Amino acid sequence: MLPNLAKIGDLPFEEKLTAKKEKFIESAHIKIMEKRSLILGFHL
């Protein structure tokens, strides 16, 4: 799981970047899945 936002301020810089990157990848993945499901006619 991702650290919650309150804790991100306590992390070392590299870990902050990783957490942001993971969050970005996760949201991008969700968007891709939503598009794919729309194309296939499914609803999440």
**pLDDT tens, position by position, 20-40:** 889 998 999 899 888 888 877
Burial of 3 (0-12, 13-18, 19+ CB in 10 A): middle
Q: Examine the pLDDT at 6 and tell me if it is beyond 80.
A: no
**Confidence class of residue 42 from pLDDT cuts 50, 70 and 90?**
low
The CB density around residue 31, as the number of other CB atoms within 10 Å, is 10
Residue type at position 6 = A
Q: How far is CA 17 from CA 2, 9, 25, 32, 34, in A?
A: 12, 11, 12, 22, 26
Q: Is-above-0.85 flag for pTM?
A: no
Share of the chain above pLDDT 90, in %: 7
Whether the predicted pLDDT of 41 surpasses 60: yes
Spatial CA neighbour of 20 closest among 38, 3, 44: 3
